[in-house]
Chains A and B, each alone.
Chain A
């Protein structure tokens, strides 16, 4: 079969229109990714040519770099506590705000506002709020005669402080959940009510199963996002002067990667870390999908 002339011209027009994406993809996505894969097997400080070192970066990461493991533990903690909190908050507020009440639109907007504010700004404001000596939160706790933690100044409270900062942006997940709630067919609720189901049973047996694809989607997105959490943690610790402070308690994976790349110029090591993070993300996502088959119900899909 030969391609006719008209097809060729159509193809070239198509390619022309797709060119911005194609060029963008190859030049600033695919090429850098592959280059970083190559660098992960080298010792490279950005100025002198990379030197091939085989698996040494990976070996060092797993066998002789205790700070790497600190960053892995911090990140897993962050994902394990942060993602469920975000999902539960988002779902609860979505349920509340799906009620047809007065001002509900305003409440929805208010909860979404943190998502619109640039992350650097929210981080700086949170640093003020969380200031142990004269911050808003501790002043409030003092009035209530509740012990006031040191938050970002105390290694055992710094991670919870970071979690509060990140969970505050749950509006994004809530909006998606709200949309999902609108899609739960009304007739299922009616049928359940006729069968005598109360509000709680309707939630467990109608809302939750029908919402499961939406919850699953938010879960996956949030896990990936949390594994790469960077901006606010970076700003909260003074923008790079004191990464992971206090005592590496907030040194998340991406922060340590950054530190290696831009404070120590170990681009090879940082690239290797980036690929390990990529693998962790792939494996986590794969496991979530495997796990989801038992819990996620797709309407119209196979059982």
Chain B
């Protein structure tokens, strides 16, 4: 009962009320319904603590895997009962936390917003929990910890890392008499042209679309030897000449196949990671995307032969072959989490067990967050090994966590879009991005 009273007290604090009502004010003009958070459905049922986890895992097999392990945890921990809800809408997450009704814990799916959310106080620093629960940080792949670190504190625990590489449709390669994946960027260009099919002036298939399924400009910049920040995120380097060359290379695709034709073609694709998406439906032969495609393709399309290879660098820069980012599914505890201690117990159980990590990684095809795990069949799959080698190689990059992470992502996407649509040159788009980013960095200090 003590807990319940505490929660009521917290909820009724005047300061909270004022802030909550005030936040409502800004949206007074808008048609918006904020659904009540599910975080508050926890009841004190005897001694059992009910934890609600919001998670962002995608297709059926991913959710099934998560449920399986949650079930195992619940069986082995009689005092705690975890249940998961898929909540992918960041707005809902933010309003639940700022409204004082957050879930107990969350799996954010990516660290893309972690820095900004940490800066704005939406997430709890987990340093104390990590130290007092004696988590052996050294057992983790270091990149995972780096991804969840903002301003010297850890705001999450890494779980299931992931990166990107070249994935391609082997059948289409054979049909076009291409015997091996491209080894240089120039080879990728010519392969793309050979894989492309245009009938009666209409695109039927494209070998490669630089920004499908998502903007990959940050990776292309690294591939060309560029970077986005220096001084640990305090200085923007968006307009580096290597970044400009990367964007110009993206532009060249749109110039070659026609900007509006490509955009139209891509707009006709079905939802990403379904059998109707551009890659699985065979409308795009190659893409720069993650290892999870191996699992999705197997689930969605029978007899699809997926290949993976290091994404090739420009000729003469072969040391940069296999350039990628590396990210993780951060397990986080939001500010105001009703049962932070129990939530962390679950996170520790989930993230530190090598057998679990290996099995989970095998089912969803992600990289285990731990260095040493039992070798399952997954680790013999040559496609998976491509991603594994990249992750451990010198070309696995990360953007630093900053207070403007999500704004930077929006602006980067806009700069890329402006350039590939021919609304601005690559140079001026990136100079503009650098200026805006620098302004935003300044405004957060």
Which residues from chain A contact B27 at a C-beta distance below 8 Å?
258, 261
Q: Which residue of B lies closest to A48 (CB)?
A: B121
- Interface residues in A29-72 (C-beta closer than 8 Å to B): 29, 31-36, 38-39, 44-50, 64
- Chain B window 50-83, contacts with chain A (Cβ cutoff 8 Å), 1 for yes, 0 for no: 0000000000000000000000000000000000
CA distance in complex: A271, B410 (Å): 21
A239 within 8 A of B: yes
A270 within 8 A of B: yes
- Chain A window 3-26, contacts with chain B (Cβ cutoff 8 Å), 1 for yes, 0 for no: 000000000000000000000000
A257 within 8 A of B: yes
Which residues from chain A contact B98 at a C-beta distance below 8 Å?
46-47, 265
A155 lies within 8 A of B421 (CB): yes
A36 lies within 8 A of B25 (CB): yes
B175 within 8 A of A: no
A153 lies within 8 A of B421 (CB): no
A33-B28 contact given A154-B260, A155-B423, A264-B407, CB 8 Å threshold: yes
A122 within 8 A of B: no
CA distance in complex: A240, B91 (Å): 8
CB distance from B443 to the nearest CB of A (A): 8
Q: Which residue of B lies closest to A240 (CB)?
A: B91
A47-B268 contact given A35-B21, A247-B414, A262-B94, CB 8 Å threshold: no
A46-B19 contact given A133-B265, A278-B29, CB 8 Å threshold: yes
- Interface residues in A266-280 (C-beta closer than 8 Å to B): 267, 270-271, 274, 277-278
Q: Count of chain A residues with Cβ under 8 Å from any Cβ of B?
A: 53
A228 within 8 A of B: yes
CB distance from B55 to the nearest CB of A (A): 18
CA distance in complex: A27, B24 (Å): 11
B381 within 8 A of A: no
CA distance in complex: A168, B330 (Å): 44
CA distance in complex: A242, B28 (Å): 23
A231 within 8 A of B: yes
Of residues A230, A245, A247, A254, which shows the largest number of chain B Cβ atoms within 10 Å of its Cβ? A247
CB distance from B103 to the nearest CB of A (A): 16
CB distance from A120 to the nearest CB of B (A): 10
A153-B263 contact given A228-B30, A247-B414, CB 8 Å threshold: yes
CA distance in complex: A64, B435 (Å): 11
B374 within 8 A of A: no
B406 within 8 A of A: yes
A150-B260 contact given A39-B26, A134-B268, CB 8 Å threshold: yes
CB distance from A18 to the nearest CB of B (A): 22
CB distance from B120 to the nearest CB of A (A): 4
Which residues from chain A contact B263 at a C-beta distance below 8 Å?
132, 150, 153-154, 246
- Chain B window 241-274, contacts with chain A (Cβ cutoff 8 Å), 1 for yes, 0 for no: 0000000000000000000100111111000000
A28 within 8 A of B: yes
CA distance in complex: A27, B121 (Å): 27
CA distance in complex: A39, B335 (Å): 22
A131 within 8 A of B: yes
CA distance in complex: A246, B189 (Å): 26
CA distance in complex: A213, B62 (Å): 60
Of residues A33, A231, A261, which shows the largest number of chain B Cβ atoms within 10 Å of its Cβ? A261
B28 lies within 8 A of A265 (CB): no
CA distance in complex: A38, B19 (Å): 12
CA distance in complex: A261, B120 (Å): 12
CA distance in complex: A267, B120 (Å): 11
Q: Which residue of B lies closest to A119 (CB)?
A: B31
- Interface residues in B395-409 (C-beta closer than 8 Å to A): 406-407
- Chain B window 407-420, contacts with chain A (Cβ cutoff 8 Å), 1 for yes, 0 for no: 10010001001100
Q: Which residue of A lies closest to B265 (CB)?
A: A133
- Interface residues in B265-321 (C-beta closer than 8 Å to A): 265-268
Which residues from chain B contact A167 at a C-beta distance below 8 Å?
none
What would 22 A/B residue contacts be, using CB atoms closer than 8 Å?
A32-B21, A47-B98, A47-B121, A48-B121, A64-B439, A131-B268, A132-B264, A132-B268, A133-B267, A150-B260, A150-B263, A153-B263, A240-B89, A240-B91, A246-B263, A258-B27, A258-B32, A265-B120, A267-B26, A271-B25, A274-B29, A278-B29
Chain B residues engaging chain A, CB cutoff 8 angstroms: 15, 18-19, 21-32, 89-91, 94-95, 97-98, 116, 120-122, 260, 263-268, 335, 406-407, 410, 414, 417-418, 421, 423, 439
Nearest 7 A/B pairs, CB to CB: A133-B268, A32-B25, A36-B25, A46-B98, A153-B267, A35-B22, A47-B121
- 6 other contacts beyond A263-B91, A263-B407, with CB at 8 A cut-off? A28-B24, A132-B263, A153-B263, A240-B89, A263-B406, A263-B410
